[in-house]
């Protein structure tokens, strides 16, 4: 095989493993309608903010405040008035936005851009 074909094969395998890992992550997050699969960045943002909310729940419990049930976690986010259980479908527009670090491109600061290896200002 040529070097290019080997590199393509490595990249294909890398992407396959990344997509498998993201699918596994999606499987443990609160569910969304079947036709609205989260993008990669949406999955990462949602997972980050969901973990943040779970952490807040634990902190409240440690402080002696009433512990939130598993369905109340998403109620901590703006736009959520009713708790969503693991088995319920959550609208795509209701993605948690709890931590400003991951809002709108927080990953790209000082990193290479998605196209042409350009560095982004920031």
87 contacts 31 by C-beta, under 8 angstroms = yes
Mark 54-85 as b/e (b = at least 16 C-beta within 10 Å).
eeebeeeeeeeeeebeeebbbebbeebeeebe
The C-alpha R_g of the chain, in whole angstroms, comes to: 18
Helices 40-62 and 3-28 cross at an angle (nearest 10°) of 40
The pLDDT of residue 48 is 95
List per-residue pLDDT tens for the chain, 122 residues long. Answer: 799 999 999 999 999 999 999 999 998 988 766 667 889 999 999 999 999 999 988 888 888 766 555 555 555 554 443 334 333 444 445 544 555 444 444 333 333 334 344 444 44
Tell me how many degrees the CA angle 92-109-39 measures, rounded to the nearest 5: 25
């Amino acid at each position: 095989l040529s070097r290019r074909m080997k590199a393509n094969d490595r990249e294909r395998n890398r992407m396959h493993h990344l997509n498998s890992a993201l699918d596994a992550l999606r499987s443990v997050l609160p569910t969304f309608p079947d036709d609205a699969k989260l993008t990669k960045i949406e999955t990462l943002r949602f997972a980050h903010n969901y973990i943040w909310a779970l952490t807040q729940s634990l902190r409240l419990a440690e402080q002696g405040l009433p512990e939130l049930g598993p369905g109340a976690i998403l109620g901590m986010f703006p736009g959520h008035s009713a708790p969503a259980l693991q088995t319920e479908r959550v609208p795509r527009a209701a993605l948690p936005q709890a931590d400003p670090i991951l809002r709108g491109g927080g990953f790209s600061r000082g990193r290479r851009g998605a196209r042409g290896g350009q560095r982004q200002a920031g």
